[in-house]
Structure 1
Amino acid sequence: MTVLAITNNSHAGIASSFSPSSVAAARSRMVGPDILRSLAILLVMLVHLPLNATPGIFVNVREYGWLGVDIFFVLSGYLIATQLFKEATRTDTVDFKSFYLRRAFRIFPAFFVVLGLYILVPVLRDNPAMQPVWKFATFTVNLGFDPRDGNAFSQAWTLAVEEQFYLVLPLLVLLLYKRIGTVWVLGLAGTLTLAGILLRYAIWDMQVGTLVEAGEFRAAFATYLRGVYYPTYTRLDGLLFGAVLAAARFFKPELCRQYLPPKVTIPLGLIFLITALLCFMDRGPLAGQGIFPVFQAQLGAVLGFPLISVGIALLFCAMLDLEHVIARWPVPGVALVATLSYSLYLTHKSVFHVMRLIVGEGNLQGNVGFVVYLIASLAVAAVLWFCVERTFLHLRDRLLPSSR
Structure 2
Amino acid sequence: MQARSIQLDVMRAFAILLVIGAHFRFAAPDGVVGALAYVWHEWGGFGVPLFFTLSGYLVGGLLITEMRTRGGIDVGRFLIRRGLKIWPAYFVFLAYLVAMPLAKGASLRELLSDYWPNALFLNNYIGPNPALHTWSLAVEEHFYLALPFVLLALIRVGWSAGIAPLCLLAPLAWSVLRAVCAVFGDPYLVDSTMPATHLWLDGLLAGVGVRALVEFNPEVVAGLRVWRWPLIAAGIGVIACLALPWPTLNGVSLYKILPVRVVSSTAILMGVLHLSMTAWWTAALAWIGRYSYSIYLWHVTVIGGISRAISPFVHDGSVAEWIVAATLTVSAAVLFGGLMSRLIEWPVVSLRDRFLPASSSRYASGETVTDAPIALDFSRRRSQARANSTGEV
Is the contact between residue 30 and residue 327 of structure 1 (CA under 8 Å) also seen in structure 2? no
Letter in 1 for 2:120: T
Tell me, which stretches of 5 or more residues in structure 1 are unaligned?
A: 1-20, 209-219, 286-295
Deviation at 1:185, TM superposition (A): 4.6
Deviation at 1:328, TM superposition (A): 5.3
From 240, 260, 268, give the equivalent of 1:277. Answer: 240
Is the contact between residue 53 and residue 369 of structure 1 (CA under 8 Å) also seen in structure 2? no
Deviation at 1:395, TM superposition (A): 1.4
Tell me, which stretches of 5 or more residues in structure 2 are unaligned?
A: 315-320, 359-363, 366-393
Q: Which residue is 2:340 aligned to?
A: 384
Letter in 2 for 1:346: L
Write the distance in 2 (CA, Å) between the matches of 1:93 and 1:86.
10
For 1:333-348, list aligned pairs within 5 A.
333-348=284-299
Is the contact between residue 75 and residue 148 of structure 2 (CA under 8 Å) also seen in structure 1? yes
Q: Which residue is 2:177 aligned to?
A: 199
Deviation at 1:155, TM superposition (A): 1.0
For 1:244-255, list aligned pairs within 5 A.
244-255=209-220
TM-score (norm 1): 0.75
**Compared CA separation, residues 99 and 188, structure 1 to 2 (3 A):** closer
**Which structure has the bigger radius of gyration?**
2
Q: Which residue is 1:238 aligned to?
A: 203
Is the contact between residue 231 and residue 270 of structure 2 (CA under 8 Å) also seen in structure 1? no
How many aligned residue pairs are there?
Answer: 342
Q: Does 1:331 align with 2:309?
A: no
SS in 1 for 2:182: helix
Deviation at 1:381, TM superposition (A): 1.4
From 149, 161, 165, give the equivalent of 1:171. Answer: 149
RMSD: 3.1
Q: Does 1:79 align with 2:58?
A: yes
Write the distance in 2 (CA, Å) between the matches of 1:349 and 1:53.
18
Is the contact between residue 39 and residue 68 of structure 1 (CA under 8 Å) also seen in structure 2? yes
Question: Any idea what the Cα deviations from partners look like across 1:310-340, whole Å, max 9, x if unmatched?
Answer: 3322332232223xx3235652521221122
Q: Which residue is 2:190 aligned to?
A: 223
For 1:42-191, list aligned pairs within 5 A.
42-52=17-27, 56=34, 57-122=36-101, 132-145=114-127, 149-150=128-129, 152-177=130-155, 179-180=158-159, 182=161, 185-187=164-166, 189-190=168-169
From 8, 27, 30, give the equivalent of 2:5. Answer: 30
Deviation at 1:252, TM superposition (A): 1.3
SS in 2 for 1:386: helix
**Compared CA separation, residues 273 and 202, structure 1 to 2 (3 A):** farther
Deviation at 1:383, TM superposition (A): 2.4
For 1:299-314, list aligned pairs within 5 A.
299-303=254-258, 306-314=259-267
Deviation at 1:341, TM superposition (A): 0.9
Deviation at 1:68, TM superposition (A): 0.2
TM-score (norm 2): 0.77
Write the distance in 2 (CA, Å) between the matches of 1:221 and 1:74.
21
Deviation at 1:51, TM superposition (A): 3.0
Tell me which of the two structures has the higher relative contact order, counting C-alpha pairs closer than 8 angstroms and 6 or more residues apart: 2
Worse overlay, 93-102 or 243-252: 93-102
From 230, 253, 256, give the equivalent of 1:267. Answer: 230
For 1:337-376, list aligned pairs within 5 A.
337-357=288-308, 359-364=309-314, 366-376=322-332
Q: Which residue is 1:401 aligned to?
A: 357
Deviation at 1:355, TM superposition (A): 2.6
Letter in 2 for 1:94: I
**Compared CA separation, residues 144 and 283, structure 1 to 2 (3 A):** farther
Is the contact between residue 124 and residue 354 of structure 1 (CA under 8 Å) also seen in structure 2? no
Question: Any idea what the Cα deviations from partners look like across 1:130-184, whole Å, max 9, x if unmatched?
Answer: 7732211111111145xxx45x321110010011011111112222147116567
Write the distance in 1 (CA, Å) between the matches of 2:154 and 2:103.
45
SS in 1 for 2:27: helix
Is the contact between residue 266 and residue 318 of structure 1 (CA under 8 Å) also seen in structure 2? yes
Percent identity of equivalent pairs: 27
Deviation at 1:362, TM superposition (A): 2.1
